[in-house]
Amino acid sequence: MAEELPISEFDYELPPELIAQEPCSEREAARLLVVERATGSLSHHQVRDLPELLQPQDLLIFNNTRVIPARIYGQRAKTGGQWEGLFLERHPNGAWELLGQTRGYLQEGEWLNLLDRQEQPSPYRLQVLGRTVDRHLLVRPEPEMEPVELLEAIGHVPLPPYIRRGVENESDRHRYQTVYAQTPGSIAAPTAGLHFTPALLQRLRENQVEQAFVTLHVGIGTFAPVQVSNLHEHTMHQEWCQLPPETAEALNNCKNRRIAVGTTTVRTLESAPWLDGRIQPWTGHTSLFIKPGHAFRAMDGLLTNFHLPKSTLLVLISALAGRDLIREAYSVAVKERYRFFSYGDAMLIL
């Protein structure tokens, strides 16, 4: 049996004022803490320095998922009570799965009248079908339509609760999205990618830093709090991801370092199958929980934001760089007043 891995070892003190409430005025102006695993050295830069920090023939791998406006508001048809929901996924039978909040208990068959982005009545409504084993709502929309169509019409940006208590402003629809977002499906942004601009991507290409893409649709499981004291007992939720053939080819042919942009990219890469020493294209769901002891095969470095205390994402980067080095890096980041979490600064682990 594996030795106990206490979640308490992945905790740190964070002054609340260091939790970024707004993005940096310019994406690539965010600060960048560079962590060298071989020497344990730490150095301070900006994201715009990446073309000089990386080497020719390094390969950056990005997650091109697109955040959908998954938060919706409405009223219970029979009581007028306020209701708030977060779209999670569409089931093969057509039912939609949501997290929902309202006073009282929603009954099967009950209708929810949805509001538009100006909090006015919309032409859309949802009927409650039942609940999942996790007590999430199952609903069907009226009129029948694809989730993205309805959410783009009336949905709100699903900001995490530590940013303005989840209340969006108009700029979030642009800034809580990577500039290369392509495939709709996430309910949270792959935040390490928020720092890139078209100009920065072009400068990287000019410096012969190669680029490739995977897709992982970020789900609620990424942010689910760890409820156990021993991490070996924690179960990760599944998330859909894809590693296309052209990205597998780029990884296999990479002549230098393979650097993942974001922990979601890491999970996609490390979940992929291998055959005869070569990573294979794949599509499927991953429930991989990367923790200390994991043998990384598909990547050599990571660009990532600063993560919540006692989170599975902090555990992941500790598995890559070592608990002691990450503990030191976070201590320095707090002392130097780096900005934390989704709209915060970044760290490059090499």
Mean pLDDT of 11-40: 97
Mean pLDDT of 53-82: 97
CA quadruple 271, 89, 152, 28: dihedral sign? negative
Main-chain phi, psi angles of 141, to 5 degrees: -85, 155
Closest CA to 289 of 308, 270, 309, 261: 270
pLDDT confidence of residue 300: 96
Taking only the tens place, the pLDDT of each residue in 92-129 is 899 999 999 898 889 999 999 999 999 999 999 999 99
Q: Whole-prediction pTM value?
A: 0.95
On the question of a cis peptide bond just before residue 184, with omega within 30 degrees of 0, the verdict is: no
Reported as a pLDDT band with limits 50, 70 and 90, residue 166 is confident
The neighbouring-strand residues paired with 86 are: 71, 99
Picking from 32-41, 156-165, 257-266, which range would have the lowest pLDDT averaged per residue?
156-165
CA–CA gap between residue 204 and residue 194 (Å, rounded): 16
Residues 6+ apart with CB under 8 A from 193: 62, 63, 178, 180, 261, 262
Reported as a pLDDT band with limits 50, 70 and 90, residue 237 is confident
pLDDT confidence of residue 220: 82
From the CB of residue 148, how many other CB atoms can be counted at a distance below 10 Å? 17
